[in-house]
Every structure is written in structure tokens, then in C-alpha cells.
């Protein structure tokens, strides 16, 4: 069992998967499977088969596969926020803070051994391909009322604060930040699958390209 874990919104699950071994297996293998199959082809039956358990057992942890996805992506944003905290807290200059946040968002995510049962690289790919599906649903208002998008909102608000410090008169701080967080993932997807929609190359430099695009976008918007 990991020593460090995030306290995620209780409405995300029926039973906390961070507390049990089966829960850990659900988290770990759902990341592997959704990454491999895509969210549409992913089912609790396939997951149950993978972890040698049953559909019914998984349903005791998560109401349905959509909530499991929301859980995973919420976990991701809490992880991002935690890392932003670590790397920006010592920086005095808000511009440097903002650049650090952008770097964290734009960087190639790799396995973080602090959290044993989560493969962050695979989870990053899931966020790239499936993020929008968490909120683009008729049930969005209900999910939102339950606070299930707190992870994303937390990261957003954190960066908005920095943005306002840099330029208090900029009138679109919230829009700019949500745009940059989403576009960071979208542009990576495009570079893999729809290259004519992006200026990023499909090679390893793309993370640097992405960072430069985001920095340019954000700082030129904030220039007074």
C-alpha cells in the first residue's frame, strides 16, 4: 500500500479503491486497458477478466465506467497540481511560476514511483484521448454539482491566480487558462493523428514545441 495518496471527492466512487487490494488492481488495470482499447471499447467485463475478478465486484467500487474515467482523470489533475505545488512554491516571480506550470503541463509525463499502482505515462495518454469525454455528456451538471471536476478546476484556479498576479487587468484569465490546459493535450493528439491541425512535429521535440507554443500564446496575451 502506498504511503502517499490523494483525497479525491467521495462521490467519485462507491467504495474507495485506494483502500483495498482489489481497488488497486482496478485502478492499475483500468489504466492499462483504457489506454490500450480506448474508452468506448473498454468494459467492466474485460477489466474483470484482466484482474481475475468479476463485473459485480467492480460495480461495487464504481457506479459505471464513466465515473471510473472521471476518477482516473481527477487523479491525474491532483497529481499535476501536487507537482505544480512542489516546483513553484519556492519561486518568488509569478512569471517564473507560470512558466513552470506550463512546463509541467507540456512535458512528457513519465512513471512516478511515488504512486505505485498508477502508470502516469499511460494515464497521460488517457487524458489526451479521453479528457473531454468526462464532461461532454448530458449528465455534466449533476457531476459538476457533486464536485467531480474539482481536480481540473483546482489546477485551473491555481494558474488563474498567477495570471492575475502578472496582469490584473487581463479580462479573460479563466478562459485563457482552461484553453491552455485543454489545448496542451489536444495538440499532442493532433500531432499523433491529425498533423495538419498542429504546428508540432510528431517526434520527441514536440514537447519543447508545445511548451513554446503555450508560452507564446499565454505571455503575448498577458503583455500590457
Partner DNA sequence: GAGTTTATAGTAGTATTACTATCTTTTTTA
Partner DNA sequence: TAAAAAAGATAGTAATACTACTATAAACTC
> Which residues lie near its own copies (CB under 8 A)?
37-38, 40-41, 129-130, 132-133, 135-138, 140-141, 144, 149, 152-153, 156-157, 171-176, 178-179, 182-183, 186-187, 189-190, 193-194, 196-200, 212-213, 216-217, 220-221, 223
Distance between CA 107 and CA 97 in Å, rounded? Answer: 15
Distance between CA 131 and CA 133 in Å, rounded? Answer: 5
| Residue 213 interacting entry, from its own copies, DNA, none, C-beta within 5 to 8 Å by type | its own copies
Indicate the residue among 64 and 175 with the shorter CB distance to DNA. Answer: 64
| Count of residues touching DNA (by CB under 7 A) | 24
Answer yes or no whether residue 20 interacts with DNA by CB under 7 A.
yes
| Residue 65 interacting entry, from DNA, its own copies, none, C-beta within 5 to 8 Å by type | DNA
How far is residue 171 CA from its own chain's centroid?
26
| Residue 46 interacting entry, from its own copies, DNA, none, C-beta within 5 to 8 Å by type | DNA
With beta carbons less than 8 A apart as the criterion, state whether 107 and 207 touch.
Answer: yes
Distance between CA 184 and CA 193 in Å, rounded? Answer: 15
Answer yes or no whether residue 56 interacts with DNA by CB under 7 A.
yes
32 φ/ψ angles, rounded to the nearest 5 degrees? -60, -45
In the block, which residue shows the cell 479563466?
174
Indicate the residue among 82 and 135 with the shorter CB distance to DNA. Answer: 135
Give the three-class secondary structure for 14: coil
Answer yes or no whether residue 57 interacts with DNA by CB under 7 A.
yes
- In whole angstroms, the minimum distance from the beta carbon of 138 to DNA comes to 12
Q: Which long-range contacts (CB under 8 A, 24 or more apart) does 18-23 make?
A: 22/51, 22/53, 22/57, 22/61, 23/61
Residue 48 host element (H or E): helix 44-50
Answer yes or no whether residue 43 interacts with DNA by CB under 7 A.
yes
| Residue 172 interacting entry, from its own copies, DNA, none, C-beta within 5 to 8 Å by type | its own copies
Site residues, DNA (CB under 7 A): 15, 19-23, 41, 43-46, 52-57, 59-61, 63-66
Amino acid at each position: 500500500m502506498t504511503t502517499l495518496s490523494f483525497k479525491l471527492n467521495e462521490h467519485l466512487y462507491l467504495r474507495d479503491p485506494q483502500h483495498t487490494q482489489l481497488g488497486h488492481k482496478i485502478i492499475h488495470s483500468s489504466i492499462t486497458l483504457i489506454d490500450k482499447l480506448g474508452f468506448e471499447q473498454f468494459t467492466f467485463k474485460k477489466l474483470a477478466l484482466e484482474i481475475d475478478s468479476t463485473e459485480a465486484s467492480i460495480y461495487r467500487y464504481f457506479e459505471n465506467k464513466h465515473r471510473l474515467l472521471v476518477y482516473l482523470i481527477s487523479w491525474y489533475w491532483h497529481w499535476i497540481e501536487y507537482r505544480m505545488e512542489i516546483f513553484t512554491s519556492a519561486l518568488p516571480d509569478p512569471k517564473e511560476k507560470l512558466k513552470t506550470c506550463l512546463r509541467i503541463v507540456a512535458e512528457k509525463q513519465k512513471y512516478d514511483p511515488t504512486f505505485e499502482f498508477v502508470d502516469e505515462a499511460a494515464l497521460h495518454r488517457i487524458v489526451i484521448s479521453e479528457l473531454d469525454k468526462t464532461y461532454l455528456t448530458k449528465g455534466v451538471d449533476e457531476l459538476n454539482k457533486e464536485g467531480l471536476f474539482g481536480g481540473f478546476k483546482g489546477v485551473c484556479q491555481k494558474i488563474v491566480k498567477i495570471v492575475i498576479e502578472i496582469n490584473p487587468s487581463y479580462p479573460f484569465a479563466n478562459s485563457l487558462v482552461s484553453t491552455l490546459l485543454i489545448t496542451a493535450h489536444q495538440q499532442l493528439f493532433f500531432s499523433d493523428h491529425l498533423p495538419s491541425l498542429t504546428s508540432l512535429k510528431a517526434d520527441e521535440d514536440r514537447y519543447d514545441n508545445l511548451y513554446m507554443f503555450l508560452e507564446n500564446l499565454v505571455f503575448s496575451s498577458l503583455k500590457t
